[in-house]
Amino acid sequence: MSAQREMKEKNPWHTPVTIIFTVIGVIAIVALVTVAVLQNRPLPQKYKYGIVLDAGSSHTALYIYEWPAEKDNNTGRVEQTHSCKVKGPGISSYASVPRKAGESLSECMQEARQRVPEKRHSETPLYLGATAGMRLLNLENSLASDKVFQAVEEALQKFPFSFQGARILSGQEEGAFGWVTVNYLDDRLKQSLETRGALDLGGASTQISFVSDDFDGSESPDNGVAFRLYGNDYNLYTHSFLCYGKDQALRMTLAKQTQSGPVSISDPCFNPGYIETKNYSIVYDSPCVSNMKPQGAPATFTHTGKGNFSQCQEVVKRNFNFKQCKYSQCSFNGVFQPRLQGPFGAFSAYYFVMNFLNLADTSIPLEAVTEKLSRYCATPWNQIKQQHPGVKLKYLAEYCFSGTYIITLLTEGYNFTSQNYPNIKFIKKIKGSDAGWTLGYMLNLTNMIPAEAPDSPPLPHAGYVSIVTVIAILLFVLFILSLRPLWPRCSKQPQII
């Protein structure tokens, strides 16, 4: 028994001081890790919101964006959480009944009221930006466009959001903000990656925006937009072609075929067997074509289809003027365009049309695209209707024209070739947010893209926790090892009987 006691006395683990040190050591390490983890735990997310109404020529759409509230200077990632398509046509179509332009927005605005948490309503900015439809109305009748804006503003002020005004975007803004949206969503700006050009095809105008090493803004300053984003400088080339959206381009193409005032048009851009009696106003009721209106044109005309892609392309080409160019190089209509560079994202009608025609995959060679389009255009109208019973007839009838217009605009207008055509990606959404100018517009107005790259914490939360834990365990092991001289000898003890 005395030997046992002696051994106990020799074993330092059994001395009260060591036991107290060990317990304190363990408690200190557990406390250190707990405090470190809790102190740096991400707080439960609270969000801020922003609403943008895109008052386009063909329709209005509402987008709700959200971003984490506690990030400094609103630098957290912005995402689209909801969109609402306003029923009816674009606000410019209500020129004769402006009150209705305001009323048309109320259903989507009610939705927004429900989607944004009530306690955030008063601080949520609400913007309305109008594009080519209102640009054209303003050119045609500025009083009417003022009245539409007045009605729209009155309607929007009735909602509990922080209304920031309704205005017409310039074509340059529309192009540049579309480019910002695409590159922001792609994370190309923050990571200083090569940017993606933006191609937007609306109903009344079309935009092309890209960064080219050839372009510093000096040759054609009107086409230049300089940005400093996340510490990088961008000299963006952008141009908006008013009247070259797909609806106005169709009017111009029809007008080209009716100039001698025929009562019947046999149109290569519509499927064979298509026949409709149409009012001439659907062609000439726009400043894009009003100067082409023939004297004494009849009230109506018969529009028949003959479905011929190459003839359609010939008529479409007549909308582009390739003759004069006072710059080193031009796209069309004497507009400067630098050398095409980098990948491109094509959205809005580019996507709707190419997706419908199963041509959104640009790995399909350009020659095969035109072949497929030729076949589509030559398909009888009855067959087309049977094959696509759920599709709006107006869109369905126009897909041959729209596809031909898109290919002609890209290749003849902007000079894409079979080599760089695969650089184009037809897109609708990027990471859940619609491609379009609205997000870029809001990011700009809320200063959400800093000019300089923000300082980021050296480590993400998970990395921080792991490192603190590993260091704590190491310290503990070192502490145990430091007591080694006091460890009991491992030599075999004599058996005590």
Ligand X SMILES: O=P(O)(O)OP(=O)(O)OP(=O)(O)OC[C@H]1O[C@@H](n2cnc3c(O)ncnc32)[C@H](O)[C@@H]1O
Nearer residue to Ca ion within complex by CB, 171 or 403: 171
Q: Which stretch binds ligand X (CB under 6 A): 129-137, 155-163, 361-369, 467-475?
A: 129-137
Q: Could you list the residues that contact Ca ion (CB under 5 A)?
A: 56, 202
**Which one, of 108, 81, 184, 122, lies nearest residue 440 by Cα?**
184
Contacts of residue 454, defined as CB under 8 A and 6 or more positions apart, other chains included, come to 72, 73, 75, 230
d(CA 176, CA 174) in angstroms, rounded, equals 6
Residue 345 touches which of ligand X, Ca ion, none (Cβ within 5-8 Å per kind): none
Residue at shortest CB range from Ca ion: 202
Residue 59 touches which of Ca ion, ligand X, none (Cβ within 5-8 Å per kind): ligand X
Contacts of residue 135, defined as CB under 8 A and 6 or more positions apart, other chains included, come to 168, 171, 204, 205, 242
Task: Candidates 125, 245, 305, 413: give the one binding ligand X (CB under 6 A).
Answer: 245
d(CA 452, CA 468) in angstroms, rounded, equals 31
The long-range contacts involving 215-220, CB below 8 angstroms and separated by at least 24 positions, are: 215/338, 219/327, 219/328, 219/336, 219/338, 220/327, 220/336
Residue 174 annotated as catalytic: yes
331 annotated as belonging to a binding site for a ligand: no
SS (H, E, C) 52-99: EEEECCCCEEEEEEEEECCCHHHCCCCEEEEEEECCCCCHHHHCCCHH
Give yes or no for a contact between 247 and 99, defined as CB atoms under 8 angstroms apart.
no
Question: Minimal distance in Å, beta carbon 183 to ligand X?
Answer: 19
**x/- binding map, residues 358-397, to ligand X, per CB under 6 A?**
-------------------------------------x--
Q: Does 353 bind ligand X (CB under 6 A)?
A: yes
Residue 209 touches which of ligand X, Ca ion, none (Cβ within 5-8 Å per kind): none
d(CA 265, CA 466) in angstroms, rounded, equals 74
Positions 164 through 203 that interact with ligand X (CB under 6 A): 202-203
Q: Which stretch binds ligand X (CB under 6 A): 252-260, 346-354, 378-386, 446-454?
A: 346-354
**x/- binding map, residues 39-68, to ligand X, per CB under 6 A?**
-----------------xxxx---------
d(CA 469, CA 141) in angstroms, rounded, equals 70
User: Pick the catalytic residue: 107, 174, 194, 398?
Assistant: 174
Active-site residue set: 174
What residues form the annotated binding site for ATP? 203-207
Where does this chain bind ligand X (CB under 6 A)? 56-59, 90, 131-133, 202-205, 245-247, 348-349, 352-353, 356, 395
What residues form the annotated binding site? 203-207
